[in-house]
Amino acid sequence: MSIDLIIHSANQVLTLTGDAPKRGANQGELSIIRSGAIAIAGEEIIAVGDTLDLLALADTRTRKIDARGKIVLPGFVDAHTHAVFAGNRANEFEMRLQGASYLDIQKAGGGIMSTVRATRTALIDDLVEQARARLDAMLAHGTTTAEVKTGYGLDTANELKMLNAIATLNANHAMDIVPTFLGAHVVPEEFKGREDAYVDLVVNEMLPTMTNYKHLHRTQVQVLQITNSSLVTRHSPLFCDTFCDDGAFTLLQTRRILTRAKELGFGLRVHADEFANLGAATLAAELGAASADHLMVTRRDEMRAMAQANVVAVLLPGTTFGLGKKDFADGRAFVEENVPVALGSDINPGTCWCESMPFIIALACRYEKLTPAEAIVAATINAAASLGIANQVGSLAPGKLADALIADVPDYRHLAYRFGANPIETVIKRGKIATRMNADERG
């Protein structure tokens, strides 16, 4: 087989071998190859190893990139995003600086509902174009795969519109996207006082409709004349997520929604314990959810239940930072309790407009007490595991997708040690150079 690309002479290649999520003390295992290289053919990694061994595989048409003094690692997997939305909420940001709480803003008719109103009136093309700029920035910061949620439509037609925007981006953007249906993001204003009627709508109409998503996706794709392959259609299930918290959905409502979703074949995720502990982490363990996310106020016994049930803890420190809060999720406790920990940006217009996984890593080390190695594991293989695609992405191994990053730092710890700027110099997505920057062009 002819090798298309060899990245060689890296100070460190972080392979993160294996397809399983990593837990506890073993999270330190980045499986580093010094003076390492990776060889790529088409969209796949062909070999990972010593530079001299791999350079021997090159032929005349092999492109070579010298990564001397730098590190190579798997593309980041962002386990939790709301990257598709219309408009912005810079106004509310200022309100919040002046003391208004998330729930205050929501009760005042702002918050999520203002994004819902903007998203409902947006055309699908607008949603796609506005999200594309964010995906571009995410890709430039090393995110090669991201989960993206619906949840700003909150009626069947607009949730489908969001899902189609997500599918369109997945088909047209270099990044691979795993979609999640989040019809139960918040009760929309027109259902105020009739919350259970909205849950009925989610359970009885939206969920069954979304199970036709693959069909709809196929037909939409044909209409849009999208021809390239996509991770969604090939590999990943559609996930269902529910925001279980004060001001969102009760534990009982969450149970109804997720139980029905499971019956219909959805993978499960849950927004758990962001503000109040309503028991959602335990529910996630009981239902065998792929992930529970946020987890700001989760108890140790709930962590142990998650560990037992293989529920990945998706921590979202960007949101805590975005809100200017000082109490972050206790990442160390999840590691101690043997829960596999993943990271997500949670990019969204209300609390966290952040495209940078390197920043999330820097934050998780300082305020959630992960080690740099644990944070890198959390941003790659464990995030992939939470999305059910750890056999395809999240580590550098033969047969996996050639999603790899060159970072212009001499050692993996610099990804967390430095912050605020973008350490990622080159992004390889499915074997193609997606972005490449000189130092003075880099953000």
Residue 193 or 420 having the CB closest to its own copies: 420
- Closest Cα to residue 252, out of 278, 286, 281? 278
Taking CB under 8 A as the binding criterion, the range among 44-52, 75-83, 212-220, 432-440 that sits at the site for its own copies is 432-440
CB crowding 223-232: b at 16 or more within 10 Å, else e: eeebeeebbb
Q: Does the footprint of its own copies cover residue 93 (CB under 8 A)?
A: yes
**Cβ proximity of 220 and 164 under 8 Å:** yes
Which residues in the 229-288 window bind its own copies by CB under 8 A? none
CB of 213 to its own copies, least distance (A): 29
Residue 179 or 322 having the CB closest to its own copies: 322
Contact pattern for its own copies over residues 155 through 194, marking x by CB under 8 A = ----------------------------------------
Q: Does the footprint of its own copies cover residue 304 (CB under 8 A)?
A: no
CB of 250 to its own copies, least distance (A): 31
Q: Cα–Cα distance between 165 and 187 in angstroms, integer?
A: 22
Q: How many CA atoms lie within 13 A of 336 on its CB side?
A: 10
Cβ-based neighbour number of residue 69 at 10 Å: 11
Residue 188 or 331 having the CB closest to its own copies: 331
Which of 371, 388, 391, 432 contacts its own copies by CB under 8 A? 371
Total binding residues for its own copies by CB under 8 A? 52
Q: CA geometry: angle at 23 spanning 17 and 26, to 5°?
A: 60
Q: Cα–Cα distance between 220 and 167 in angstroms, integer?
A: 9
Q: Cα–Cα distance between 208 and 142 in angstroms, integer?
A: 35
Q: CA geometry: angle at 351 spanning 347 and 354, to 5°?
A: 35
Taking CB under 8 A as the binding criterion, the range among 143-151, 188-196, 293-301, 363-371 that sits at the site for its own copies is 363-371
**Sign (positive or negative) of CA dihedral 377, 378, 383, 386:** positive
Cβ-based neighbour number of residue 56 at 10 Å: 9
- Strand pairing category for 5-14 and 32-41: antiparallel
Residue 93 or 191 having the CB closest to its own copies: 93
For residues 388, 392, 393, 398, the Cα torsion angle rounded to the nearest 10 degrees is 150
CB of 149 to its own copies, least distance (A): 19
CB of 123 to its own copies, least distance (A): 18
Q: Does the footprint of its own copies cover residue 356 (CB under 8 A)?
A: yes
Task: Give every CB contact of residue 190 below 8 A, 6+ residues apart in sequence.
Answer: none
* Helix, strand or coil, per DSSP, at residue 425: strand
Which residues in the 132-151 window bind its own copies by CB under 8 A? 133, 136-137, 139-141
Residue 134 or 217 having the CB closest to its own copies: 134
Owner of token pair 């820097």:
362
Taking CB under 8 A as the binding criterion, the range among 14-22, 204-212, 289-297, 434-442 that sits at the site for its own copies is 434-442
Residue 179 or 423 having the CB closest to its own copies: 423
Which of 129, 219, 417, 433 contacts its own copies by CB under 8 A? 417
Taking CB under 8 A as the binding criterion, the range among 234-242, 278-286, 288-296, 353-361 that sits at the site for its own copies is 353-361
**Sign (positive or negative) of CA dihedral 187, 115, 144, 417:** negative
Q: Does the footprint of its own copies cover residue 1 (CB under 8 A)?
A: no
Binding site for its own copies (CB under 8 A): 88-91, 93-94, 97, 133, 136-137, 139-141, 318, 321-324, 326, 345, 353-356, 358-360, 365-367, 369, 371-372, 410-411, 413-414, 416-422, 424, 435, 437, 439-443
